Chains A and B, each alone.
Chain A
Amino acid sequence: MFDTGSVPVSAPDLAALRLLGDRVRPLAGAGERTLPVPEAFAGLLPQGGLQRGSTVATGGTAATSLALALVGPTTGTGSWVAVVGLPRLGLLAAAELGVDLERVLLVAEPEARAWPATVAALLDAVEVVLVRPPGPVDVSVQRRLQARARDRGSVLLQVGGDLGMWAQGPDVVVSAGASSWVGLGPGHGRLQARRVEVAVTGRRGADRPRQAQLWLPGADGTIAVAEPTRAPLREVG
């Protein structure tokens, strides 16, 4: 009567469950105050993401692509990203690197005088503000912007340019080292994929530099960790 025979229960899809768990996790948990980043970056960044309230800078030969790749998942969750200045930002590249252009505000480069107020207003409203300061930033201005970011849980991200503009270095620096393109030869082919050496250094919890080889983008357009063993690919750069 009480049949204890096995009832077929499909094994839970652990990966899917974990993903679901991640998503329904309370948002204000202490360790979760980070913005999502592509999986390839998760192991590189000190908190596994962009820590809310922090300042981040990207540099090197792929500074712009790195910044765009880092903010992509944030726009994917419906949050907004603002860009101040950077008139040369390739928006098509942004879309290809995972940025949802529906969630992007572009603000024309303000005069140096209006720059701090503009950035502060945007830090109030959006999750990440991409900047490249037009000139040296005062200690007091930087403190104010950092306090605003901490208060609102937003991230100030400098895209390339001179890190010396700031009175104080950023919390995390994501820089691209040697990069090499795949697919283009002497007189033939086309650019298909780029392998970049990405190094993360910083002050807060990231003093030990971390490095990895990333595809930015890979041949299929995605961002991925490149296998440490060098695949027999023709190097062109």
Chain B
Amino acid sequence: MTNGSATRALVVHCPDWPVTAAGVGPDEAAIVVRANRVLAASPAARQAGISTGLRRREAQKRCPQVAVIEHDPSRDARAFEPVAGALDGVTPRVEVSRPGTLAFATRGPARYFGGDEALAERTGWIAAEAVGRGVVARIGVADGAFAALLAAQRAHRQAVSTGRSAPMMIPVGASPAFLAGHPVEALAEVLDQPDLIDVWRRLGLRTLGLAAGLPVADVLARFGGGGVLAHRLASGLDPRPLDARRPAPDLAVSRELDPPADRVDRAAFVAKALADELHARLAADGLACIHVLVEAETEHGETLARHWRHEGALAAGALADRVRWQLDGWLTGSAIARPTAGISRLTLIPVEVVAARGRQLGFWGGETLIDERVLRAVARVQGTLGAHAVTVPEARGGRSPMDRVIRVPVAAVDLTSPRPEARPDAVTEPWPGRVPAPAPAEVWSDPEPVEVIDAQGRPVGVTGRAEVTAAPASLARSGHRPTQLTAWAGPWPVDERWWDATRHRRRARFQVVEANGTAHLLAVEAGRWWLEATYD
């Protein structure tokens, strides 16, 4: 291998795995959403015009009967474990890149089975059997796992259009040419650097071939280590940075479980501690892990091992997630694959490490360490109170203070990325007739009926020409003595949704101040007064 030219690799790729993992039948229309966007769609949903990245609402518009499933990475991984396990018979070095996609180097097994074609065919049978009927597993073979993944995806597209399913083989040395024609967005399959890809696209580097044509020194100077990684991938080179090395064996971390764990949550608890320990140990040496081997040993001496790889470095949380997914897959798997006893020892072995380039945390604000704690707390509260108990604000257009910021379930947003839509100034469209600032600090979601009385004790009304019949003098809330009003203004008529007979509302608003200095926002609708909000 000279200068990291790519290792020949075979990729098994199950398109739209999250949908398969959710147990959706082949003919059902279903989508899996994350942060309100489509992550995966079943073939029936795709036929209805739903594509990845679409907003949930848009997807439901294109296919109203589509079933919407929330994304659950652990479900994906659990369902994928039998597939990875079945391929252990082909090669011991199966690496799961992510649930639904696995890769291994073909060098050994291809010689054993008699060439790449024979290996691909055999893998195809095994994978097809493991994933079950009605689910497809596509095979791609190329120089480098990235090219092989794109080959598998092309195999899928060909199978969909021609109905013939066959592995896609890219001849030795032809991977760069194969990659060159792909759009630069294909990098998003393996790299978590949307900004970089976006910049490249806007710079006119629309295909991987154009990106690969840049001198590597210039890429390094302009885009740093992440850019070089993307450049290597685009050039069909091994993505592994040149400084990837085998770590010293004593970096492995291991823990005895006594008593042995037969439940996932207990094992996962230990896994979390181990992942933290490994991460801290590597970080102390300035290293980060890109490829980890998770080994579990049961009381009866069974060992179960799985390789996990991630092109970006695996953070402690991501590492712990992978261990948990894998244990989940074993302990809740089919009766044959399940270990016969509880797990008594858990070991994490960093197989490949790179120099940690680190993540620059925000200095003031932005990305801070607190965020991970917040996510955990959100999960805990959701666990006890239900998924819809936690909401976050989101700004909307509207006239009344209660319409302008609404609460959306936290499950529908991605807390880790910036959410400018949370800020009211995100709404730039004018809303004539909206209640001017300052906004009331207490808004009634269910307005309280009140009485507004004039100086003579008669109820105050508003005429059709938006004039008060008399000056409001006091406010009577049920259960309270009427209070004097020292100031008032209105009526400010609001005629909303006059085009919609069922949601049409015609109201007039007032601001009033009570003698004790408390101000309220009142509304009168069809002759009745409501307390909408208080300037508390």
Binding site for B on A (CB under 8 A): 23, 61-65, 68, 76-80, 82, 87-97, 100-102, 104-108, 110, 114, 117-118, 121-122, 124-127, 160, 178-181, 184-194, 217, 221, 236-237
Q: Looking at B395, B405, B418, B517, which has the most chain A CB atoms within 10 Å of its CB?
A: B517
Q: How far is the CA of A217 from the CA of B515 in the complex (A)?
A: 19
Encode contact with A along B341-381: 1 for CB under 8 Å, 0 otherwise. 00000000000000000000010111010110110111011
Q: How far is the CA of A187 from the CA of B377 in the complex (A)?
A: 49
> Are A91 and B405 closer than 8 Å at their CB atoms?
yes
User: Which residues from chain B contact A221 at a C-beta distance below 8 Å?
Assistant: 437-438
> Are B373 and A102 closer than 8 Å at their CB atoms?
no
Say whether, besides A78-B364, A184-B511, A236-B487, A90 and B439 are in contact (CB < 8 Å).
yes
One of B51-59, B268-276, B384-392 contacting the partner: B384-392
Say whether, besides A93-B441, A178-B517, A184-B511, A79 and B368 are in contact (CB < 8 Å).
yes
> Are A95 and B489 closer than 8 Å at their CB atoms?
no
Q: How far is the CB of B493 from chain A (nearest CB, A)?
A: 15
Encode contact with A along B501-536: 1 for CB under 8 Å, 0 otherwise. 000000000010111111100000000000001011
Judged by a CB distance under 8 angstroms, whether B419 is at the interface is yes
Say whether, besides A95-B424, A101-B422, A104-B393, A77 and B364 are in contact (CB < 8 Å).
yes
CB contact between B517 and one of A23, A63, A92, A180 (< 8 Å): that residue = A180
User: Which residues from chain B contact A190 at a C-beta distance below 8 Å?
Assistant: 436, 489, 511
CB contact between B393 and one of A23, A106, A110, A194 (< 8 Å): that residue = A106
User: Which residues from chain B contact A23 at a C-beta distance below 8 Å?
Assistant: 364
Query: From DSSP, what is the main secondary structure of chain A's interface residues?
Result: mixed
Add 15 more A-B contacts to A105-B374, A186-B486 (CB < 8 A): A61-B516, A68-B441, A76-B365, A89-B443, A90-B536, A92-B404, A95-B424, A101-B393, A105-B410, A106-B393, A106-B407, A184-B519, A185-B487, A193-B438, A236-B486
Q: How far is the CA of A63 from the CA of B440 in the complex (A)?
A: 12
Say whether, besides A96-B437, A187-B489, A102 and B423 are in contact (CB < 8 Å).
yes
CB-nearest residue of chain B relative to A76?
B365
Encode contact with A along B419-455: 1 for CB under 8 Å, 0 otherwise. 1101110000000000011111111110000000000
Q: How far is the CB of B455 from chain A (nearest CB, A)?
A: 11
CB contact between B418 and one of A76, A88, A102, A114 (< 8 Å): that residue = A102
User: Which residues from chain A contact B517 at a C-beta distance below 8 Å?
Assistant: 61, 178-181, 237
> Are A90 and B423 closer than 8 Å at their CB atoms?
no
CB contact between B362 and one of A78, A94, A108, A185 (< 8 Å): that residue = A78
